[in-house]
Structure 1
């Protein structure tokens, strides 16, 4: 069954949705949409690092995503304007990554695959990495869910009850770095943040609890993957952007349907 490239692509997309959607809920709740951008754009620096040092691409991407996430987390605690900080780091990370990749000697790199993903070229080994990463993220979120939720919605309450908001921030940082590393092949650096934020935003109007929002976001992400693959197959459109476009369409529909459903 896994010899069929469309089956592999669908399974890879579902793995990314499983990791990205609930993690995206925390990004939405913290109002840090640029956080995903900054971390994902740093992935290109990781690609350059891996090529220059002859390391596995996954290792370089994971390392740089983690470094960028830690930088953002550290600077945000120093009362630097979060929006401005994340905007600068996101665009600087992308620009530096593109420059660094172009300077790696003796390497011809298909930048479009790293920018927009190449889900149809996912191999069995890639699929294993994606699902291992997705399950790691899921385990991190499930085991730390209540602590993460309290630290996100009310840091003062978390501290008063013996929690450690900074530690929970580090857990989210680690989870985000893992998600970026495994999602790069599927949707690319430019679209990873979209798969974080759009399914979570689309599921928000229908959720009556944080857990409900996370589950709905996963469902929206999985549906977007299926719809994007179908659109790409039928109309020969780029697959990664097609998946994100489908997610955006679901967001528009959820935004329009939610008020109608509430009235009924």
Structure 2
């Protein structure tokens, strides 16, 4: 398609795809207070990039595998004497450090670390678009399929068990969805900013959402609008696209928070 020859169109489509997937998933991250877990998974993506380059794999495959491995390690070590925030802090920064060191050993490949740390959305190609939208469709389909079970287990593990729902299975579903989002978003906003696109749109939608479904839809919309607005602003101001997208999302959060604090007329 000729329209996809324009790099700005490809960048816009990539940003919207990530925003649509990250918004609803981010709602569960906010509800379950999984922000630090998301941060650890995103930081581990750099190690996935290094492994992908070393073994000539796609970046998506490497980052997805490492993100899932991170989730498995967290599940294995949790409850073994370390507080969860301490464990996630150690794993997040260790994975990032090992990833950065491992990248330096990759021979014969010119690596732009800034692109993987903060994203390079303007370099998105057609294959990247297929991966991003395929991953977004997978995440949205998974959330739609398990929506009621995920909500029930988010409210209470005991309530979920009483309803015949296995809370561990639903946590696994969220872990898989989070790993996919990290794998597809690293090209757009980079490993250091992925968590922002999960949390900020969801937090911005919270003051006005009267139901979980409305919050998820609003978060997706804010994520997509942040991507489009951030790209436009980056183009006009000649600023880095990934961080600018997050800045626009932060502005949405600021406005929604201020409006939420205003007294409502009866």
Q: What TM-score comes out, normalization by structure 2 length?
A: 0.95
| Cα separation, 2, equivalents of 1:191 and 1:34 | 13
- Partner of residue 49, structure 2: 47
- Partner of residue 15, structure 1: 17
Q: 1:208/1:74 Cα in 2 relative to 1: closer, same or farther (>3 Å)?
A: farther
Query: What do you get for the CA RMSD once the two structures are aligned?
Result: 1.4
What is the SS of the residue equivalent to 2:5?
coil
Greater mean deviation of Cα atoms: 119-128 or 254-263: 254-263
- Partner of residue 159, structure 2: 157
Deviations 1:114-149 (A, max 9, x none): 001110111111101100000000000000001011
Q: 1:178/1:258 Cα in 2 relative to 1: closer, same or farther (>3 Å)?
A: same
What is the SS of the residue equivalent to 2:187?
helix
Q: Structure 2 matches for 1:11-160, cutoff 5 A?
A: 11-76=13-78, 80-160=82-162
- Partner of residue 255, structure 2: 253
| Cα separation, 2, equivalents of 1:26 and 1:155 | 15
Alignment gaps of 5+ in structure 2: none
* Deviation at residue 243 of structure 1 after TM alignment: 0.1
Alignment gaps of 5+ in structure 1: none
What is the SS of the residue equivalent to 1:39?
helix
* Deviation at residue 39 of structure 1 after TM alignment: 0.6
* Deviation at residue 89 of structure 1 after TM alignment: 1.5
Residue 184 (structure 2) aligned to one of 182, 191, 212: 182
